[in-house]
Copies of this chain bind each other. A is one copy, B any other.
Amino acid sequence: MKRGLSQTCYVFFSVISNPTRLAILENLLRGPMNVSQLTELLKQRQSMISHNLRPLLRCGFIKVERRGKERFYSLNGETVEHLFRVVENHSQKYCPTMGVCPSKEEKRR
């Protein structure tokens, strides 16, 4: 069953448009990590990390390798680097306040 471009994109982007999952990806940029390390780094519950690893894995952003009882997760391919680069370029060029969008900002106050 083939799917249109924007539908494929939706599956794809909905997986990465989440602060926890993005933080996981950002941390994995530095190298493979197991669940406990991610849990500690992101200061979140372990179950939350696991729940968030799953969609990343399912859509091929990361891969996993077992070592004993631990599981090491690492980035799969260059997709994440490419994406982050596109975002950085875009935000530098078009977003007046470096990715801080006005209305989100108001919300925060």
A residues with a Cβ closer than 8 A to B are 1-14, 16-19, 22-23, 25-26, 55, 58-60, 76-77, 79, 82-84, 86-91, 93-95, 97-104
A19 in contact with B1 given A12-B87, A83-B83 (CB within 8 Å): no
Residues of chain B within 8 A (CB-CB) of A1 are 97, 100
Residues of chain B within 8 A (CB-CB) of A14 are 17
What is the distance, in angstroms, from A87's C-beta to the closest C-beta of chain B? 5
Query: Chain copies in the assembly?
Result: 2
What is the distance, in angstroms, from A13's C-beta to the closest C-beta of chain B? 4
Q: Chain A interface mostly helix, strand, loop or mixed?
A: helix
Residues of chain B within 8 A (CB-CB) of A101 are 11, 55, 58-59
Residues of chain B within 8 A (CB-CB) of A60 are 90, 93-95
Which B residue sits closest to A22, measured CB to CB?
Answer: B6
What is the distance, in angstroms, from A23's C-beta to the closest C-beta of chain B? 5
Residues of chain B within 8 A (CB-CB) of A99 are 3, 7-8, 11-12
Q: Is the CB of A103 within 8 A of B58?
A: yes
